[in-house]
Amino acid sequence: MKMEASKAVIKNSDMSEQMQQKAVDYAKQGMDQYGIEKEVASHVKKAFDREFGPTWHCVVGRNFGSYVTHEANCFIYFYLKSIANIGNKVADKTVDKLIDMQQKTVKIAQETISRNLTEKDTADVIKKEFDTRYGQEWHCIVGRYVGR
C-alpha cells in the first residue's frame, strides 16, 4: 500500500528536528510497507532502537488516550495525515486477520483466567503467548478496574 500524499503535523515534541524527521520518515515507510498499525509501530520502534539505541516505545492508532513519562529529548506526538489507495483485497485480509487475532485473544485469555493465577501471572502468561504468536512487541495489563 503506497501512500499517495502525506503530511505530518507534530503536536508535541522535545526531540531534535533531525529526530522528529526520522520519526516521520520511519512512520511513512511503515505505512508504505505494512499499512497495519501494529506493524507500523514495530517498524518505527525497531528503526529507532537501531539508530538511537534501545529502548523505544511506539503507539500507532486512532481514538486512544495516553499518559506517558519519558526521557528528556525522547518524545514526539504527531499526526500523519495521508491519502492512501487501499484495495478491497488488502482491507479484507486485514479485517480477517484482526478478527482471527481477536478470537484467539479471547480464547487465550479465557484459558489463562480459568487457571486462577494471580493477575501478574495471568498477564505474564498472556504476554508470552502473544510474543510467541505475533512477535515480541506486546504488553499485557490485567486487573479488575482496567479499562473502566
Query: Where residue 43 sits, what CATH number does that domain have?
Result: 3.30.740.10
Residues 18 and 65 reside in one and the same domain? yes
Last residue of a domain, one of 69, 84, 99: 84
Residue 22 — very low, low, confident or very high, per pLDDT cuts 50/70/90?
Answer: very high
Q: Model pTM?
A: 0.53
Same domain? For 26 and 46 the reply is yes
Highest mean pLDDT among 19-28, 79-88, 104-113: 19-28
Residue 83: pLDDT band (50, 70, 90) is: very low
Three-class DSSP category at 8:
strand
In the listed set 44, 68, 84, which residue is the last one of a domain according to the structure? 84
Question: Is the link from the previous residue into 55 a cis peptide, with omega within 30 of 0?
Answer: yes
Greatest mean pLDDT range, 22-31, 67-76, 134-143: 22-31
Question: Does a structural domain hold residue 145?
Answer: no
29 shares its domain with 43: yes
Q: Are residues 97 and 80 in the same domain?
A: no
**Is the Cβ–Cβ distance between 8 and 80 less than 8 Å?**
yes
Q: What confidence score (pLDDT) does residue 118 get?
A: 84
Cβ atoms within 10 Å of 104's Cβ, excluding its own: 14
Give the helix/strand (H/E) hosting 77: strand 76-84
Q: Residue 10 is part of which domain span?
A: 3-84
Same-domain status, 11 and 48: yes
What is the pLDDT at residue 146? 63
Q: Are residues 46 and 98 in the same domain?
A: no
Residue 64 has pLDDT above 70, yes or no: no
Number of domains in the chain: 2
